[in-house]
């Protein structure tokens, strides 16, 4: 996949001619800030505090396009099992349909979590996660990710 742009202008999931969203600076690592779609800023910053993972591309979507976030491992490819662990933890929380004070999650969340690895004869790309969900659920999905964050607490801050 190589280096992706953070904004939706280059997102492969968005049709050509799609108007990019308003951009705002988000903290990606300790001293790195990137422009991201305004509605995804909090989620992008939160995801980048998880040890061993980094967001590489995102688009907030709109009423007719899902929001999407691409996540990869930081540094050493041996951390790819971390992507699997993250996927399992997030999907387990969603499957149980509750979080925090046993609040009910409805089927309206329509989130999809894809763990992807692709390669061809000349290029082997690192595995990545693709999160897709309705734009109207950005706040709720951010809260769910915030809920699972302490379970990955062996590194509580940004990775340099």
| Lowest mean pLDDT across 3-12, 72-81, 93-102 | 3-12
Band of residue 64 on the pLDDT scale cut at 50, 70, 90: confident
Count CA atoms within 13 Å of residue 31 on its CB side. Answer: 1
Supply 78's token pair: 């041996």
Three-class SS state of 151: helix
CA distance 45 to 39: 12
User: What's the whole-model pTM score?
Assistant: 0.77
């Amino acid at each position: 996949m190589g280096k992706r742009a953070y904004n939706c202008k280059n997102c492969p999931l968005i049709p050509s001619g799609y108007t990019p969203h308003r951009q705002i600076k988000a903290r990606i690592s300790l001293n790195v800030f990137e422009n991201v779609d305004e509605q995804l800023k909090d989620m992008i910053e939160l995801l980048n505090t998880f040890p061993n993972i980094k967001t590489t591309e995102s688009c907030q979507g709109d009423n007719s396009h899902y929001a999407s976030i691409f996540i990869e491992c930081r540094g050493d490819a041996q951390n790819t099992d971390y992507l699997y662990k993250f996927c399992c933890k997030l999907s387990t929380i969603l499957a149980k349909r509750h979080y925090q004070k046993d609040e009910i999650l409805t089927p309206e969340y329509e989130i999809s979590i894809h763990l992807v690895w692709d390669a061809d004869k000349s290029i082997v790309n690192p595995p990545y996660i693709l999160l897709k969900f309705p734009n109207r659920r950005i706040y709720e999905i951010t809260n769910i990710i915030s809920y699972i964050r302490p379970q990955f607490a062996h590194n509580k801050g940004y990775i340099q």
